[in-house]
Amino acid sequence: MSRWVIRLIILAVIIFIAEAYAFQALKTITRSRVIKGVWLGVSALVYANLLYVIFSTSRSVGQTLQFQYAVGFMLTILIPKAILILGMFSEDIWRFGVKLVSWFTPGQTQPIQGRRAFISKIALGLAAIPFASFLYGIVQGRYNYKVLKYQLAFDDLPDAFDGFTITQISDIHSGSFTNAKKIQYGVDLINEQQSDVILFTGDIVNNVASEMDDWVTMFKALKAPKGKYSILGNHDYGDYVDWETEDDKVANFRKIQELHPKIGFDLLMNENRYIEKDGEKIALIGVENWGKGFNQAGDLNKAKVGVDKSDFKILMSHDPSHWENQVKQDDFHYHLTLSGHTHGLQMGIEIPGLIKWSPSKYVYKQWAGLYEEFGRFINVNRGFGYHAFPGRVGIWPEVTVIELKKASKTT
């Protein structure tokens, strides 16, 4: 028996125990066989569908839309039940605590109290919040585009670039798209920013180049007077597909690279370009994917050839772990780094000025938004598209607009 099958069996046992435990809350507040049957029936259908997709889909096609939805529906019912279980477990601790105290109180020994219906109702009510949120995230949240604007000041920014604007997009993941009208709205929103330059920081597809075929015309319409530039992300290398031959993978990678000029983007593969304005210039440097623990094709030394250390520099690097591990302390001084990759895990809680949280923060130190260290900045774009989970909950798709300012002129 293969290792992944063993892991699947272990996971199934854990889920079965969790489901049985969560079902106790429902039994506490209702005797209706219909309600109980619907509860059990929906859960059974979701898990059966996931198993069917897993065992019927060849790894040679990579992650499919069917798999995304199967995982999405599983999370939609499983995460609320996890919250329900936490509520019930808290009551169980209290129940057994009361029993334990009675053991040491003469004449007060009593049986373990039954579950209280109002506790189960509260737990079910709390569980309904993430359930509704996940449904919203799948239906509408994945298209809830947000424009986030930042103004960054630098002492050594060339005067001609004071007020220069950059629109950053990342993680298109065209293989997940299903609604052309919604995607067109997102593309139009990018153009509405009327930035000087548009920079795309990787992951144009999920698995294969053909995923972008139906969307080339739409993204080709993006416009910026000073150009459109792009880099590759980890999904653009075809590493998540079981290719029949290495030649097939190489051919797909070539087609991925060809997609960028088709939509009007200048793809930088460990290369640089100068953007000029009124006789002055800034350096734009683009590296291939560099991620801690996997694909590390990015080569800063190669990418910066021809760039002077004194130049004002913008670096495009898909994975923010590159900035954390190599870029931020590099004495070549990269003023601004633009990344993506994390998607903010597509789920979390963000209330400006109050809270910013996602499980993604436990994996990436810089996981969403703007960060500064050593006088150098990185912006981690939350992504235009979505992947794995077919929705977004609290972490919305993002279009970033950054205005560069001369520090001496910001007073």
Percent of the chain with pLDDT over 90: 73
Q: What is the value of pTM for the model shown? A: 0.90
Of the candidate ranges 105-109, 231-235, 289-293, 294-298, the one whose mean pLDDT is the lowest: 105-109
Q: What is the CATH architecture of 144-409?
A: 4-Layer Sandwich (3.60)
Beta partners for 290? 296
Residues 301, 282: Cα–Cα separation, whole Å:
18
144-172 confidence digits (pLDDT tens): 999 999 999 999 999 999 999 999 999 99
Report how far residue 334's alpha carbon sits from residue 378's, in angstroms, rounded to the nearest whole number. Answer: 10
pLDDT at 61: 75
pLDDT at position 319, please? Answer: 98
Could you tell me which of 168, 140, 67, 179 has the C-alpha nearest to residue 396? 140
CA 376/CA 335 separation, integer angstroms = 5
In percent, how much of the chain has pLDDT > 70?
Answer: 92
Is 323 or 55 the better-scoring residue by pLDDT?
A: 323
For the chain, what are the domain ranges? 3-139, 144-409
pLDDT, one tens digit per residue, over 253-286 is 999 999 999 999 999 999 999 999 999 999 999 9
